């Protein structure tokens, strides 16, 4: 992800661009949802990220789950795809994006010693039964709409 996004950023600077990616909802047996404390925004978000050239959305979801949590899923079901002005985001460094996010639910999750991040994007991992207070706006929107049976745009 970083190489492709950095290449685009070198051409357009911080201006907004459309970025396609995938997010994964992982639930434990108690109904808690796995959130990652993100290094870039210092907020709790759902594991996920941008699609690499040539990847499918499912491959993106699988790769991002592994990179950010150290977990693998036996199966992932596509729940919904979200987009539109509510998925605009400005990163702390000023980079702007309009996200198109395919949301998957993971089943048969294993590995990672209980979910230990593989890279430097994740500072902590935790299962929450209620939405965390310091939550990324995109993750909040996704969870509220998925749990409330809302529709994507």
> Which H helix or E strand runs over 9?
helix 2-12
Q: What is the value of pTM for the model shown? A: 0.88
Q: Residue 13 contacts by C-beta under 8 Å, 6 or more apart in sequence?
A: none
**pLDDT tens profile 54-82:** 999 999 999 999 999 999 999 999 999 99
* Vertex 59: Cα angle to 56 and 61 (nearest 5): 110
For residue 59, report the phi and psi dihedrals to the nearest 5 degrees. -60, -35
Closest by Cα among 108, 99, 106, 55 to 81? 99
Q: How many CA atoms lie within 13 A of 137 on its CB side?
A: 9
Percent of the chain surpassing pLDDT 90: 78
d(CA 129, CA 126): 10
Question: What average pLDDT does range 27-40 have in this prediction?
Answer: 94
- For residue 1, name the pLDDT band (cuts at 50, 70, 90): very low
Confidence at residue 103, expressed as pLDDT on a 0 to 100 scale: 98
Domains of the chain: 2-147 (3.90.79.10)
For residue 96, give the nearest of 18, 15, 4 by alpha carbon: 15
Per-residue pLDDT tens for 104-146?
999 999 986 444 555 678 899 999 999 999 999 999 999 999 9
Name the DSSP letter for residue 47: S
User: For residue 136, how far is the Cα from the chain centroid?
Assistant: 10
Is residue 2 within a helix (H) or strand (E), and if so which, with residue range? helix 2-12
């Amino acid at each position: 992800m970083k190489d492709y996004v950095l290449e685009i950023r070198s051409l357009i600077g911080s201006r907004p661009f459309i970025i396609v990616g995938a997010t994964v909802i992982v639930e434990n047996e108690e109904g808690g949802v796995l959130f990652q404390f993100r290094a870039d925004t210092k907020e709790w978000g759902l594991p996920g990220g941008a699609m690499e050239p040539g990847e499918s959305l499912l491959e993106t979801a699988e790769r991002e789950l592994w990179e950010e949590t150290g977990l693998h899923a036996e199966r992932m079901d596509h729940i919904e795809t979200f987009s539109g002005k509510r998925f605009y985001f400005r990163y702390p460094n000023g980079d702007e994006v309009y996200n198109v996010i395919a949301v998957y639910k993971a089943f048969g999750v294993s590995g990672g010693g209980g979910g230990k991040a593989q890279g430097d994007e994740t500072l902590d991992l935790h299962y929450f039964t209620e939405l965390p207070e310091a939550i990324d706006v995109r993750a909040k929107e996704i969870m509220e709409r998925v749990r409330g049976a809302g529709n994507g745009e």
